[in-house]
Chain A
Amino acid sequence: MFSSLMLNTWIAASIVAVIAGVTGFFAVLRGQSFAAHAIPNGAFAGAAGAGLLGLNVIWGLAVFALAGALGIGALGRRTRQDVVTALVLVLMLGLGALFLSLSTEYAEVTYSLLFGEVFGVSSTVLVPIAVLGAVGIAAIAVLYRPLLLASALPEVADARGVSTRRMELCFLIVMALATSMTVPVVGALLMFALMIGPAAAARSFTRRPGYAIALAVGIALVTVWAGIAASYRTNWPLGFYVGVIAAGFFLLGQGWSAARRRAAAPRPAPALVSA
């Protein structure tokens, strides 16, 4: 399990977990789970297109992820954001269906791009993930305070002169670049599970944003490490373990906050609840 062959897998998974924990915290805080799902998922279509043109998959991923983030950010301002997110996602996936039908080797490519190929990661894939992940986390560290303010209290941010629109666009771009690069390794679908579950769980354990980010990263790391170990033993896909373990942590967090609420708050007067 810890042979040199598996070393790249452990490194890639750990980098991915750190990226997922940090960006996932803001995605959950901002209520942008849909965008977090749509951008990597749509980027997968870009990978298919790049394969068709004979380009490096990385370029297809980057172009589609950026286009998706800009589309959601720009169009979402004027109407309901969830509608625009759905339509952008659908457009990219429609193109993906076309690209895949035109290429000859679709089935295996589709499966590995959607669900990842975490075993047998080559060092050449590792570099862009590490670089873009570091850039993304650095960008979030720089923008940390205004981004947090714009996410938690948009009205206050506007009053203080922080542009919520610009913050949103910045966040979407950072999320797009940081997550889409991980698609060849962990797959478009797994990345999403790793972003939402741990971050949502962390938020029910602590209210302080710094702790919550650290906890989200920790939970994501535990999830992905346990997933790799289990996947290595049973040969079942990593995506299955990550999806289930992340959901388990979320339920644990829900149970914890429910129990704490019950312990902290005295029961309200019965006359008020019997409605």
Chain B
Amino acid sequence: MGGFLHDIVAPGLLSSAPVRTAVLVGTVVAVTSGVVGVLTVIRSQSFAGHSLSDVATTGGAGAFLIGVSQFWGFLIAGIAGAALMELIGVQRRRGRDVATGVVLGAALGAAALFLYLGTLTSSTTGASFTILFGSMFVISPDTVPALVASGVLALVVVAVLSRVLLLTALSPELAAARGVRVRAVGVAYLVALAVAVSLSSVAIGAVLSTALLIGPAATALRVTKRPGLAMAAAALIGTVATWLGILLAYDSYYWTSGGRGWPVSFFVVALIIVGYLLSYARRPRRGRTGRDRAARAARARENQEVPECSPA
């Protein structure tokens, strides 16, 4: 591992196996989270998205306890949590909020127990840190095919259901009137969300997976209102943030004298937040041509919920 302490551009970057795994998994996670995240933001289910990652933490801790691959623990707990939320969730938004909170609270309690029992059986107290904050550079290559497969599964579910999902998000009554089974669609969506979230939990940690789910999607939805375009943009933003984050974390081994790198998750989150804040300042940067400005003004007149886009 001392080989890459030579150059600022880090010559060993792409030949290092952990980095290649991190880049591959990070890309899958970023694309899946970006696409699912757009629907999550539109459906106002950020809390569920974040909670599912915490619920998945419980599964990760439980899997650690019985010695199964953490990935399966994350996945099973995530799906079970999604089912429970939907089961006790009332259709009203506030009821859903509370149902999510109660499932989250119970799952966190179980996580406390699992982590405690884990420290009893083996002396690695660092487990809670790894589970919560992830460590992209120590993904085992065995889990990569499963990671990629579940990412594709989540993408397929969303692609097949995207029109119905958008309809039920924007107008549940209209969807029901058209014969859409709103409840079943909600469950299918939550399962896709659970898969996406457990995926990113393995990669950048259960707690910070929220960043990849919500950040790029929220940024994309500030730039464009078209769902398809927003999904592509969110996937792109997430991928770029992940790649840059990996690069910076790799380089950060030089920054301190002790040779300790800064965590990947910190860089990814910081980049995503910077991107989101930049989307607030996008107007002076783009739209220099008259046609752009006219188009935006027309759009602003159409949906007046965007107050900063005053007609030019």
Which residues on A are within 8 Å of B, measured CB to CB?
Answer: 28, 31-34, 36-37, 79-80, 82-83, 85-87, 89-91, 93-95, 97-98, 100-102, 106-108, 110-111, 114-115, 187, 189-190, 192-193, 196-197, 200, 236-237, 239-244, 246-247, 250-251, 254
Contact = CB atoms under 8 A, between A and B. Distances in A.
A97 B214 contact: no
A100 B133 contact: yes
Nearest to B96: A31
A83 B46 contact: yes
Contacts of A93: 207-208, 269
A91 B270 CA distance: 7
A243 B113 CA distance: 10
B46 A82 contact: yes
A157 B113 CA distance: 44
B109 A244 contact: yes
16 contacts: A80-B44, A80-B218, A86-B214, A87-B214, A94-B211, A97-B265, A106-B126, A108-B125, A111-B115, A111-B119, A193-B105, A196-B98, A236-B116, A242-B109, A243-B107, A243-B109
B248 to A, nearest CB: 12
Interface of B: 41, 44-47, 49-51, 88, 93-94, 97-98, 100-113, 115-116, 119, 125-129, 132-133, 205, 207-208, 210-211, 213-215, 218, 222, 260, 262-263, 265-266, 268-270, 272-273, 276
Max count, chain A CB within 10 A of own CB: residue among B94, B106, B111, B119:
B106
A34 B207 CA distance: 14
B263 A107 contact: no
Given A98-B262, A110-B132, A193 B106 contact: yes
Contacts of A247: 102-103, 105-106, 109
Given A83-B41, A101-B262, A115-B115, A106 B129 contact: yes
Contacts, number: 182
Contacts of A107: 125-129
Contacts of A89: 50, 210
A240 B113 contact: yes
B128 A94 contact: no
Contacts of A101: 260, 262-263, 266
> Which secondary structure dominates where chain A touches chain B?
helix
Given A87-B215, A91-B273, A241-B109, A197 B262 contact: no
Contacts of A34: 46-47, 50, 97, 101
Contacts of A31: 93-94, 97-98
Given A87-B218, A90-B211, A93-B208, A197 B102 contact: yes
A240 B115 CA distance: 11
Contacts of A28: 98, 101
Given A87-B273, A91-B269, A243-B107, A200 B113 contact: no
A110 B108 contact: no
B311 to A, nearest CB: 19
Nearest to A240: B113
A95 B108 CA distance: 21
B94 A111 contact: no
Nearest to A243: B109
Nearest to B128: A111
A178 to B, nearest CB: 18
Most buried by B among A80, A87, A97, A239: A97
Contact of B133 (A97, A189, A197): A97
Contacts of A241: 109
Given A37-B101, A86-B213, A239-B109, 16 more contacts: A33-B97, A82-B44, A83-B46, A86-B214, A90-B215, A91-B269, A94-B208, A97-B263, A97-B265, A107-B125, A196-B102, A236-B113, A237-B116, A242-B109, A247-B109, A251-B88
Given A97-B263, A115-B112, A83 B100 contact: no
Nearest to A236: B113
Nearest to B207: A93
A110 B101 CA distance: 22
Nearest to A92: B269
Given A34-B47, A90-B269, A192 B101 contact: yes
A87 B268 CA distance: 12
Contacts of B103: 247
Contact of B109 (A110, A200, A240, A250): A240
